[in-house]
Structure 1
Amino acid sequence: MKSLYLKKEDCCGCSACYSVCVNQAITMKADEEGFLYPEIDQSRCVDCGRCTEICPVTYAGNYKESNTPRFYVARHKSPEVLRQSTSGGAFTAISDAILRQNGVIYGADYDADFHVLHQRAETSEQRDRMRISKYVQSDMGNTYAQSKADLKEGRMVLFTGTPCQAAGLRGFMGNSPLTDRLYTCDLICHSIPSPLIWEEYKRLLERENGGKLVSVQFRSKKDGWSRANSNKGFLFTIDKSSEIQEDDRFYQLYFKVGSITRPSCSQCRFTDIHRASDLTIADYWGIEKYSPEWFDPLGVSVILVNSPKGAALFDQCRQDLVAEERPKEESFNEQQRLREPLQFPETRSDFWEDYRHFGFEYVLGKRNNGS
């Protein structure tokens, strides 16, 4: 097999193909925009076709549930959990239900250099590192294989990630009876930014501040939880000072300019209400319009219950939540990624051409100045 995709819009980078290949013929390599794509070692490939059979982008139905989910507004009962969460603490409640049963959590975390990658958690302390949103595509590594190994050991597994990552895991697992203990939870995903641009941004912050990053936080709630505050409030600290600093230039490239997201996001197969996961979580935008008594400046979540397994898990975590079923139309109206994919600006190719010729600081200054 020469290639797994015809154009880059057909690859979401989930790494299911890499994980399923028993001959280790596939590696995930970064392209010039920093996104991972599969490459095939022809000397190892036996043309079994397994990699293309399970691809969540091309698989018929994309592993999505056919039924319409039930929508809930939810808020964690603990104010401290709310303060430490991006939205209303739904992820903490869901994952705690798994941890109470000696289960394992997989989710996005940082390594020591703030690369974003999927990690494994067996304790609440390890899980807590996965709470806050990370606006970078995570490196899946061997997460799918590790999840399967835990399932074989009789552990319950909760996998959390983007919709395409969750669908990739479903493809990797197939119809295995092990999936009886596997639970998946995805996000209403805006799109996934380039890891390369994230690396450039980190290095710039370190150069400008004369030190090494020791903490970063997307989606700070220092000004409260609201849609208006959702694309600002990136906080960081440098090793030479305990001062918490704020810089929103990465947000500007991501939300305002819109040129640093993966090509497949413009044709995403997972931007509708039919989900490939048991549960879906996100911000409950607009709740102050539909039911003002539910608004909380510490955060409010929407939870979509997409499957019978999702319903069972939701019942188990409700002891930690205040929750109420809501009309699906509310979130459908407020969450654009439940209706359609992100549309790229016509200047996307210009951005990357400028980056290749003039460097990151040039495009950062140019784009944030509105040119």
Structure 2
Amino acid sequence: MIRIIDKNRCCGCTACVNVCVHGCISMNEDSEGFLYPKVDEDHCVDCHLCDRVCPYENIRIESLEIDPECISAKAKDDEIRFKSSSGGLFSLLAQVVINQQGIVYGAAFDKNFHVIHRGVDSIQRLDLLRGSKYVQSETDFTFSEVKKWLKEGRKVMYVGTPCQIEGLYNYLGNKKTDNLILVDFVCHGVPSPKVWNLYLEDIRKRYNSKIECIFFRDKSHGWKTYSLTFQSESMPLQSRILTFDHYMQTFLRDISLRPSCYNCVCKKINRVSDVTLADFWGIRRINKAMNDDKGVSLVLLHSEKGKRLFQKIESDIEWYNESLASVKRINHNMVQSVKEPPKRETFFRNIDRYSFEELYDKTVRRGVMYELKNRIKGYLKLILHLLEI
């Protein structure tokens, strides 16, 4: 049975919960706000199905066969790109699946701005899934839902972190069917939902207002200088670029990530997914023709099924084949885990003692010169964006 002794070896994908036919496994939140499986040992029959689907118990050796096709791409429709985190490829691929009476799963906000996985089957509802959410999502029983849809002959596209996709792939029996499209992305790591809730509480108190809308990747100041934006009926639009926002800085300084993110077994080039999507950071060094600061997607096509899906959107995008070796040199998160910062333990040990801003000041904020340089860097990004318009 699944026993979480080392939290570095659990990504919280919920494959074990979904596969347990006796319903003996539940996901429980720990003191850091991450979910871990807990087994009801009185009812467990030691069938070991949970062990067989766990990405950390079944580490997949990277295939050294054919490398994926590597592409830079962006939607020709600027409105789609503006609403998207990078080049708008998720939206276009998802539209193809929905137009085939399929269902698309991805991360969405619930009414309290918790991040959960959910499925949508209409173009109008794609907005719920569009855009990055820098919080670990709860997949709950969506793996079981996918299995049900596939049995009914319905096409499904499931978008998640590499570990979520490996968990789903294992849960489905390591089988690939024409009706299932697996899409992952280049993942920096997943922040704690508890940290996110603490940050939201600070925002609500500061403005004495109920939040109506959140967007992590507002491109009003450009794709490279994206902003975290809040909106409500009772307060003006609040927008802070990534360099100035303390939640984003906590994430980008690797403090608020899940323990397994520092030793991710799913960071590799050859993946079980059909398509890998990412921001094409460094595009100006590789292909200046694509560099307009409105967003460019990196696309890796791992399977023939992924290639066929991509072909269906070629008329709606501008795209180029790129060198995989060049991409690997620039986009380190594709293959390398971030290092655990020394202050992480102190940060989470004090999470119940302080407000988010107090916690940031005491454990995340660095020296005066570092913070000054960081702010100057932010202003320079804003200036560069204005010069590029």
Structure 2 length-normalised TM: 0.89
2:242 paired with 1:246: no
| Residue from 255, 272, 279 that aligns with 2:252 | 255
The 5 Å alignment of 1:72-221 reads: 72-175=71-174, 179-221=177-219
C-alpha displacement of 1:287: 1.2
Q: Give a deviation string over 1:236-256, Cα, whole Å, max 9, x none.
A: 013413x11024110111113
Matched with 1:40 is 39
Q: Secondary structure at the match of 2:312?
A: helix
Q: Percent identity?
A: 34
In structure 1, distance between residues paired with 2:88 and 2:355: 39
C-alpha displacement of 1:81: 0.3
C-alpha displacement of 1:67: 3.6
Structure 1 portions without partners, runs of 5+? none
Q: Give a deviation string over 1:13-72, Cα, whole Å, max 9, x none.
A: 000000000000000111101101000011221000000011112214169795421100
| Residue from 302, 310, 313 that aligns with 1:314 | 310
| Residue from 294, 297, 301 that aligns with 1:301 | 297
Task: State whether residues 8 and 259 of structure 2, in contact with CA within 8 Å, keep that contact through their aligned partners in structure 1.
Answer: yes
Moved more, 244-253 or 276-285: 244-253
The 5 Å alignment of 1:205-354 reads: 205-226=203-224, 229-230=225-226, 233-241=227-235, 243-247=236-240, 248-256=245-253, 258-354=254-350
Task: State whether residues 104 and 156 of structure 2, in contact with CA within 8 Å, keep that contact through their aligned partners in structure 1.
Answer: yes
- Pick closer, same or farther for the CA change 1:156–1:238 going to 2, 3 Å: same
Task: State whether residues 132 and 217 of structure 2, in contact with CA within 8 Å, keep that contact through their aligned partners in structure 1.
Answer: yes
Task: State whether residues 64 and 276 of structure 1, in contact with CA within 8 Å, keep that contact through their aligned partners in structure 2.
Answer: no
In structure 2, distance between residues paired with 1:174 and 1:204: 44
Matched with 2:19 is 20
Task: State whether residues 209 and 238 of structure 1, in contact with CA within 8 Å, keep that contact through their aligned partners in structure 2.
Answer: no
- Pick closer, same or farther for the CA change 1:30–1:155 going to 2, 3 Å: same
In structure 2, distance between residues paired with 1:369 and 1:348: 12
Which amino acid in structure 2 is aligned with residue 319 of structure 1? S
Task: State whether residues 346 and 363 of structure 2, in contact with CA within 8 Å, keep that contact through their aligned partners in structure 1.
Answer: no
Task: State whether residues 230 and 237 of structure 2, in contact with CA within 8 Å, keep that contact through their aligned partners in structure 1.
Answer: yes
Task: State whether residues 59 and 265 of structure 2, in contact with CA within 8 Å, keep that contact through their aligned partners in structure 1.
Answer: no
- Pick closer, same or farther for the CA change 1:61–1:92 going to 2, 3 Å: same
Which amino acid in structure 1 is aligned with residue 231 of structure 2? T
Q: Give a deviation string over 1:162-190, Cα, whole Å, max 9, x none.
A: 0001111101101557x331110001000
Moved more, 350-359 or 131-140: 350-359
In structure 1, distance between residues paired with 2:361 and 2:239: 17
In structure 2, distance between residues paired with 1:23 and 1:315: 43
C-alpha displacement of 1:354: 2.6
C-alpha displacement of 1:361: 3.6
In structure 1, distance between residues paired with 2:232 and 2:363: 25
Q: Name the Cα RMSD after superposition.
A: 1.7
In structure 2, distance between residues paired with 1:93 and 1:333: 28
In structure 2, distance between residues paired with 1:318 and 1:237: 35
C-alpha displacement of 1:350: 1.4
In structure 1, distance between residues paired with 2:5 and 2:65: 28
Q: Secondary structure at the match of 2:181?
A: strand
